[in-house]
């Protein structure tokens, strides 16, 4: 596996920008976990990614709906598991069907269902740093994830 990549993000615009850049190097059939505290930039990153793939509308957080789907050059499924009480909710909702060999799946708060989720291709860790900045650490966990991150500069 290649080494992780790290980016310092000073504000929301830089978080949107790295999401936009990430959209240019991803392929279908990726499972991506987004980790970090509330307000760390996970959904802002996803907004940049979805807009980078050509979506013109409002990208909303699936905090209450749990799931948003975007039909773009490939299907992108955005999950937010923050409100899960147990990992059984993932199974009960039938969300496993979306991890299907062609969709891109972005899962915020994957730790809420970690014992039923497959292994991610990439983990994106968002960490608060000084002066209200963030650090984004991208960790590849599969050959697909490694190949994807090798294209990101």
pLDDT at 1 over 60: no
CA distances from 83 to 70, 101, 127 (A): 21, 26, 20
How far out from the chain centre does Cα 123 lie? Answer: 8
Structural domains of the chain ordered from first start = 5-150 (3.40.50.300)
Contact 4, 120 (CB under 8 A): no
> What pLDDT was estimated at residue 76?
96
Percent of the chain surpassing pLDDT 70: 98
What local confidence, expressed as pLDDT, does residue 2 receive?
A: 61
Counting runs of H as helices and runs of E as strands, what totals does the chain give? 4, 7
Mean pLDDT of 78-98: 93
Q: Which two tokens stand for residue 61?
A: 């957080």
130 is written with which tokens?
């000084």
> What band does 128 get if pLDDT is binned at 50, 70 and 90?
confident
Section 111-117 average pLDDT: 94
The pTM of the whole model exceeds 0.75: yes
At residue 62, the pLDDT reads: 75
* pLDDT score, position 115: 92
Burial class (CB in 10 A: 0-12, 13-18, 19+), 122: buried
Q: At residue 36, does pLDDT exceed 90?
A: yes
Measured in degrees and rounded to the nearest 5, phi and psi for residue 129 equal -125, -170
- Tallying the residues shown for the chain, one arrives at 153
Tell me the pLDDT of the chain averaged across its residues. 92
Both tokens assigned to 111: 């730790």
As a whole number, mean pLDDT of residues 42-52 equals: 95
CA distances to 3, 57, 131 from 120, rounded to whole Å, are 16, 28, 31
Decide if pLDDT at 64 tops 70.
no
């Amino acid at each position: 596996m290649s080494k992780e990549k790290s980016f310092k993000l000073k504000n929301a615009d830089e978080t949107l920008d790295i999401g936009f850049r990430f959209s240019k190097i991803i392929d279908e059939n990726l499972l991506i976990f987004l980790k970090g505290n509330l307000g760390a930039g996970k959904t802002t990153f996803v907004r940049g990614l979805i807009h980078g793939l050509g979506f013109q509308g409002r990208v909303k957080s699936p905090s209450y709906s749990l799931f948003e789907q975007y039909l773009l050059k490939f299907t992108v499924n955005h999950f937010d598991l923050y409100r899960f009480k147990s990992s059984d909710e993932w199974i009960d909702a039938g969300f496993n069907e979306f991890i299907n060999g062609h969709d891109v799946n972005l899962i915020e708060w994957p730790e809420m269902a970690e014992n039923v989720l497959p292994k991610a291709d990439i983990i994106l860790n968002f960490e608060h740093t000084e002066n209200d900045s963030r650090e984004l650490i991208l960790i590849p966990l599969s050959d697909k994830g490694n190949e994807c991150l090798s294209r990101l500069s």
